[in-house]
Amino acid sequence: AKTCAERGATVFMLNRPSARAKKAVEEVGRGARAVDCDLTSFASTREAAANVMKQSGGVVDVLVLNAGVMALPFDATPSDGYDVQMQTNVISHWLLTRELFPALRASSAARVVSQSSLAAKMSSALRKECFEKVPMCTSWAKSTWDIYGQTKLSNLVFTEALQTRLNAAKITNVRAVAAHPGIAATNLQVTTANNPGRGASSFQLALLGKSGIFQSEADGATPALVAAFDADVEGGDFFGPSRMFQCKGAPKKVPKDKKVTPQACDILWSGCEAA
């Protein structure tokens, strides 16, 4: 967000109202506009999209879907009843894209960038149950990490499903692209370590840090920046770090996950539509 604002872009930052969100907007500085948005609520997500439509003049050039929670305890969202990870990381992203699609179409060259993760490799296949409400959506899972892996695989599947539909509709001015940050030292890891029962202690994360596998938060953002702005990006491309099994390094185009299949695309799209 800071890089975009420094280059003259108007950046709409969708966050739940909090001191942390206010500080983030202040750090980005000139060009940043705060928009209240709680992805655990479909009503809030729709309202946020309407606010962006109004403030942007009906034109959005880049939509970066990078909001996410990791390995939260099994819980249903208060308003809608879906698993909090699935709704925050996946279903509300789909909804936000749908609500903002007229503004993306109004751009001369728009992109929808989904932020995935290496955790997508944790899932053997996308599960239809994950798009059901609690408790059905989590009844199969042994750990909250199972659900997190599903959400990150879903981000890749969403990109493929959206690009497939754009191609079928012969829409060429909107591209769907995906990225992942490798293993970056962000607040997401800190929060995970400090929340009991999530499966990764601060000691374990400290060991990973000493191994040199972490890259900086700024470096972790570069694959998404390439996906959003590089001139040679094509619809459906996927970007991640280039070194240490995609854990760190300069961004490059990486292979699509073999679990991103037409069947998985149908599961995701029908599940999000039904929600």
* pLDDT tens, residue by residue, 194-222: 554 455 544 444 445 545 677 888 999 99
Read off the pLDDT band of 22 (50, 70, 90).
very high
What was the pLDDT predicted at 188? 60
Spatial separation of the C-alpha atoms in residues 103 and 60, rounded to whole Å? 5
What was the pLDDT predicted at 185? 75
Query: Which residue in 179, 190, 175 sits closest to 152, CA to CA?
Result: 179
Lowest mean pLDDT among 71-85, 106-120, 196-210: 196-210
Instruction: Using the predicted structure, report yes or no on whether residue 69 has a pLDDT greater than 70.
Output: yes
Check residues 128 and 196 and name the one with the higher pLDDT. 128
Report the sign of the C-alpha dihedral through residues 141, 143, 144, 147, in that order: negative
Per-residue tokens: 237:
């491309």
Cα–Cα–Cα angle for 23, 29, 30, nearest 5°? 150
Q: Cα–Cα distances in Å, from 176 out to 192, 208, 235?
A: 29, 32, 5
Mean predicted confidence (pLDDT) in 233-254: 95
Instruction: Using the predicted structure, report yes or no on whether residue 193 has a pLDDT greater than 50.
Output: no
Return all residues near 211 (Cβ < 8 A) that are at least 6 apart: none
Report the sign of the C-alpha dihedral through residues 93, 41, 267, 89, in that order: positive
> Cβ(236)–Cβ(103) under 8 Å?
no
Mean predicted confidence (pLDDT) in 108-136: 97
Residue 34: beta bridge partners?
Answer: 13
What was the pLDDT predicted at 184? 82
Read off the pLDDT band of 170 (50, 70, 90).
very high
Per-residue tokens: 261:
């299949």
Instruction: Using the predicted structure, report yes or no on whether residue 102 has a pLDDT greater than 50.
Output: yes
Return the beta strands (E) in the chain as ranges.
11-15, 32-36, 62-65, 110-115, 174-179, 238-243, 248-253
Instruction: Using the predicted structure, report yes or no on whether residue 135 has a pLDDT greater than 70.
Output: yes
Mean pLDDT for the chain overall: 91
Per-residue tokens: 233:
């990006």
What was the pLDDT predicted at 187? 62
